[in-house]
Amino acid sequence: MKKEEILKKITELESKLKDIKGEKCEVYSRVVGYHRPVQNWNEGKQEEFGERFEYGFEQ
């Protein structure tokens, strides 16, 4: 592709992106022993949730 074609494609995609509408997603996580929607947590716990790390391991 030539530069002009790429720029034209980018412009087309950017205009389509404006029409995309998403839905809010409810996130559940474990806090104080049980699972609850993160949006229902107090402000301090929500901030803590944003700082969490996910760990994994290979079997």
Q: Are 32 and 21 a contacting pair, CB within 8 Å?
A: no
Nearest to 33 by CA among 25, 44, 24, 45: 45
**pLDDT the model gives residue 5:** 94
Does 26 fall in a domain?
yes
At 5-37, the pLDDT tens digits run 999 999 999 999 888 888 888 988 887 788 889
Please state the pTM of the whole predicted model.
0.45
Total domains present in the chain: 1
Its domain, for residue 30, covers 3-51
Residue 39 near residue 50, CB atoms below 8 Å: no
- In a domain, residue 35? The reply is yes
Q: Is residue 20 part of a domain?
A: yes
56, part of any domain: no
Contacts of 36 (CB under 8 A, 6+ apart): 28, 29
